Amino acid sequence: MAPTDRRATAGSRIRLGLIGDNIKRSRSPDLHRLAGRLCGLDVSYDLFVPRDMGKSFDAAFEACRDSGVHGVNVTYPYKEIAVAKAVVGDDATRRIGAINTVVFEAAGPLGHNTDHSGFIAAYRDLFGAMQPGKVALIGAGGVGKAVAFGLAALGAETLTIVDVDKAKAGALARSIAAVHGDAIATMISDDVRATVPGADGIVNCTPLGMIGQPGSAVPADLLGPQRWAFEAVYTPVDTLFKKTAEAAGLKVLSGYELFFHQGVDAFRIFTGQAPTDLSELRRLLAETPTH
């Protein structure tokens, strides 16, 4: 995913934002403002909640574009809808069918998916060269699509996509097969209990666990035989799924790590720059009070 051609220069003012529901406690404003400070840029970052604006997603998106916002991140539940609003320059993102980063260029909005690149970076950062093995991925929505392609790129042996909407799960499985062929076996299911016990890794890409949607997509009694888990939700970081997976002995990749890595990738796309010291960005984020 190449960064925008427009490299921001020192002192430049960059207006960014996030479009989504239930985003009041998002750390994205902090991450991008701090990254801007480390790069010598004056970055503002605002939250845009369509229903609070009295607008549809399309109208909120267009309001951002027309008001001079340089770029926006897009989060739940609009990542798949946003694809129709932007030109997607690479085939991999087109096949994923969801975007989370949009740059408003003179020629029109350009769409990217940093959930995909961010997941791969976060996985390697925590697990190193460990192979994903047999994976049960729960949730075939916007983030689920990006993570599924990431797991295929990481060399997962098999991927079972679990979703109550089997048509959606099937469409994702076919998209992965079109890119990766026989390199990964893909299956679909609508039954968590039939799928999770035999997996090496469990991935939650549903909104269950986030603020306003309590619970877990995986019953605690199914956890234990697996090696690892990934929780896509990061507000809060310590979801019920994350805590029960850790208590069962699994090594858990948190949604915060996806948030961090996809955010760095998005910032690079927005500005053409990135902080050279990511540990310093992590430190500053940890020291910044949450909303």
> DSSP per residue over 35-80, as a string?
HHHHTT-EEEEEEE-HHHHT--HHHHHHHHHHTT--EEEE-TT-TT
Number of domains the chain contains: 2
What's the whole-number mean pLDDT along residues 126-140? 98
**Entry pTM:** 0.93
What's the whole-number mean pLDDT along residues 177-196? 95
Q: Are residues 98 and 213 in the same domain?
A: no
Q: Are residues 66 and 191 in the same domain?
A: no
Q: Are residues 253 and 121 in the same domain?
A: yes
Q: Would you give the end-to-end CA distance of the chain in angstroms?
A: 31
The Cα–Cα gap between 179 and 47 comes to: 35
pLDDT of the residue at 9: 77
Q: Are residues 150 and 276 in the same domain?
A: no
Q: Are residues 33 and 108 in the same domain?
A: yes
The H or E element that residue 30 is part of is: helix 28-38
| Residue 203 within any structural domain of the chain | yes
Is the dihedral angle over the CA atoms 241, 243, 249, 252 positive or is it negative? positive
Q: Are residues 134 and 228 in the same domain?
A: yes
CA dihedral angle for residue 8, residue 12, residue 13, residue 19, rounded to 10 degrees: 10
| Residue 4 within any structural domain of the chain | no
CB 134 within 8 A of CB 201: yes
Whats the size of the chain, residue-wise?
A: 291
At 22, which CATH number?
Answer: 3.40.50.10860
Q: Which residue do the tokens 């799960």 mark?
A: 169
From 45, 76, 78, 234, active-site residue:
78
The Cα–Cα gap between 285 and 32 comes to: 10
Say if residue 91's pLDDT is above 90. Answer: no
The whole-chain average pLDDT of the chain stands at 95
Contact residues for 46 (Cβ-Cβ < 8 A; gap 6+): 15, 16, 17, 18, 29, 69
Active site residue 78: yes
| Residue 5 within any structural domain of the chain | no
Strands 201-204 and 228-231: parallel
pLDDT of the residue at 187: 96
The Cα–Cα gap between 224 and 10 comes to: 50
Say if residue 61's pLDDT is above 70. Answer: yes
Q: Are residues 120 and 248 in the same domain?
A: yes
Q: Are residues 58 and 120 in the same domain?
A: no
Say if residue 127's pLDDT is above 60. Answer: yes
Q: Are residues 140 and 101 in the same domain?
A: no
DSSP 7: P
The H or E element that residue 87 is part of is: strand 87-88
Structural domain of 86: 13-113+263-287
At 250, which CATH number?
Answer: 3.40.50.720
What's the whole-number mean pLDDT along residues 124-139? 98
Say if residue 55's pLDDT is above 90. Answer: yes
| Residue 6 within any structural domain of the chain | no
Reported as a pLDDT band with limits 50, 70 and 90, residue 167 is: very high
Say if residue 194's pLDDT is above 60. Answer: yes
| Residue 218 within any structural domain of the chain | yes
Q: Are residues 177 and 273 in the same domain?
A: no
pLDDT of the residue at 6: 57
Q: How many CB atoms lie within 10 A of CB 128?
A: 7
Say if residue 60's pLDDT is above 50. Answer: yes
Say if residue 82's pLDDT is above 80. Answer: yes
| Residue 39 within any structural domain of the chain | yes
Q: Are residues 53 and 99 in the same domain?
A: yes
Residue 154: φ, ψ to 5°: -80, -5
| Residue 7 within any structural domain of the chain | no
CB 273 within 8 A of CB 7: yes
| Residue 34 within any structural domain of the chain | yes
The Cα–Cα gap between 224 and 222 comes to: 7
Q: Are residues 203 and 282 in the same domain?
A: no
* Tokens of residue 35, six digits: 């990254």
Beta strands in the chain (DSSP E): 13-19, 42-48, 71-74, 87-88, 101-105, 108-112, 134-138, 158-162, 185-189, 201-204, 228-231, 251-253
pLDDT of the residue at 3: 41
